[in-house]
Amino acid sequence: MIQTVEWTDEGVRFIDQTRLPTEEVYVTCRSYEEVAVAIRDLIVRGAPAIGVAAAMGVALGVKQSSAADPAALRRQFDEIARVIGETRPTAVNLFWAIRRMREKFEALAGQPLPQIKTALVAEARQMHLEDIAANQAMGRHGAALMPASGGVLTHCNAGALATCGYGTALGVIRAAVDAGKKIHVFADETRPILQGARLTAWELTKDGIPTTVIADNMAGAIMRQGKIRAVVVGADRIAANGDVANKIGTYTVAVLAKEHQIPFYVAAPWSTVDMNTSTGEQIPIEERSPKEITHHGGKQMAPDGVQVENPAFDVTPHKYVTAIITERGIAKAPYAEALKELAAAAPVTA
């Protein structure tokens, strides 16, 4: 299995996703500040992987802390949480992970400092295991929704590389393939930084799952040709009403799917569902560097001085979503009620 995120004695180790698919290179972040840079610079990306990376970053910062007493360690904890919390705003898994680490930290109040450090490392490692278990459960729930054969379109990368292993959307596809379904994946290349062409195609090809990369602007024509039987994507944040924030371009795919009567599924762990955000309107959308649009492979593609917009994510209103697949089960419209029910369901443990 690909080791997207790994705790080691030296620090937090990542496969460097900026170098794929041509180079399989691993980097070890030896401080929490380096973990924050790895998240911001997309060495590690994808909402669930960002969450576990953040938890491990917090654990690393606390482990390395020179604080001599609980009050000093608390001040240090707040600083670590602030630095990691400022890396990327949209994937709610980042904030979910920091909150879970803070709750653990609070629960350990009064314990000797070495015990606190050990317990926080153990918590982050447990989150890593739980993420894989959640993906496998999502796969079990979602495989039944996949067609027995034919094309399934996905956008961005919601695979092993976006998680601690197996993947969300690609986990559903993997489980369907394991169940004997003859699926051919169509991977949108996913402009501007090509997570579909570089990452989805890389990991599916490695697994021997038939994959065709298409430019984003081809999805409509390919659907019209009858080549797509279902769409499955991941999510960075799902609001309480079922609106879904995911990689820019997802909304376009959802609208196209509706026009062609193709089911549009979203697969995400419960840590991506934000019951405190009522609709997609309130989801903060990360704006990234204009250079991601104006330059490609180091080459300038647009004239100097041109205006650029580069929102990394968009929001798909819930009316376009056929079902949301989580490890706790499948939610269908009306989403406000269905998600409330899943909120009360038992979490999947590892």
Which of 269, 211, 203, 265 is closest to 236 using CA atoms?
269
Which of 231, 36, 224, 78 is closest to 147 using CA atoms?
231
CB of 165 to ligand MRU, least distance (A): 11
- Rule CB under 6 A: say whether 196 interacts with ligand MRU: no
- Rule CB under 6 A: say whether 194 interacts with ligand MRU: no
- Rule CB under 6 A: say whether 162 interacts with ligand MRU: yes
- Rule CB under 6 A: say whether 236 interacts with ligand MRU: yes
Q: Choose which of 247, 251, 256, 342 interacts with ligand MRU (CB under 6 A).
A: 247
Which of 160, 122, 118 is closest to 5 using CA atoms?
160
CA–CA separation, 78 and 72 (whole Å): 10
Q: Choose which of 200, 211, 246, 271 interacts with ligand MRU (CB under 6 A).
A: 246
List b or e across 86-109, with b for residues whose CB sees 16 or more CB atoms inside 10 angstroms.
ebbbbbbbbbbbbebbeebbeebe
CB of 206 to ligand MRU, least distance (A): 17
- Rule CB under 6 A: say whether 280 interacts with ligand MRU: no
Question: Which region among 70-78, 108-116, 156-164, 277-285 touches ligand MRU (by CB under 6 A)?
Answer: 156-164
User: Bridge partners of 142?
Assistant: none
- Rule CB under 6 A: say whether 47 interacts with ligand MRU: yes
Q: Choose which of 11, 48, 89, 242 interacts with ligand MRU (CB under 6 A).
A: 48
Q: Choose which of 2, 4, 35, 46 interacts with ligand MRU (CB under 6 A).
A: 46
Active-site annotation, residues:
236
User: What angle, 0 to 180 degrees and rounded to 10, lies between the N-to-C axes of helices 70-85 and 47-63?
Assistant: 150
Q: Choose which of 139, 192, 234, 242 interacts with ligand MRU (CB under 6 A).
A: 234
How many residues belong to the site for ligand MRU (CB under 6 A)? 17
Around Cβ 295, how many Cβ atoms within 10 Å? Answer: 14
Taking the least distance from each CB to ligand MRU, the nearer of 65 and 87 is 87
CA–CA separation, 336 and 113 (whole Å): 42
The C-alpha angle 22, 24, 26, rounded to 5 degrees, equals: 145
- Rule CB under 6 A: say whether 237 interacts with ligand MRU: no
Residue 21, preceding peptide bond in cis (omega within 30° of 0): yes
- Rule CB under 6 A: say whether 2 interacts with ligand MRU: no
Question: Which region among 1-9, 105-113, 154-162, 223-231 touches ligand MRU (by CB under 6 A)?
Answer: 154-162
List b or e across 245-261, with b for residues whose CB sees 16 or more CB atoms inside 10 angstroms.
bbbbbbbbbbebbeebe
- Rule CB under 6 A: say whether 142 interacts with ligand MRU: no
- Rule CB under 6 A: say whether 168 interacts with ligand MRU: yes
Taking the least distance from each CB to ligand MRU, the nearer of 126 and 310 is 310
Question: Which region among 44-52, 277-285, 314-322, 335-343 touches ligand MRU (by CB under 6 A)?
Answer: 44-52
- Rule CB under 6 A: say whether 65 interacts with ligand MRU: no
Q: Choose which of 14, 20, 45, 321 interacts with ligand MRU (CB under 6 A).
A: 45
- Rule CB under 6 A: say whether 323 interacts with ligand MRU: no
**x/- contact string, 94-133, with ligand MRU (CB under 6 A)?**
----------------------------------------
- Rule CB under 6 A: say whether 141 interacts with ligand MRU: no
Q: Which amino acid is at 138?
A: M
Binding site for ligand MRU (CB under 6 A): 45-48, 91, 156, 158, 162-163, 168, 195, 234-236, 246-247, 312
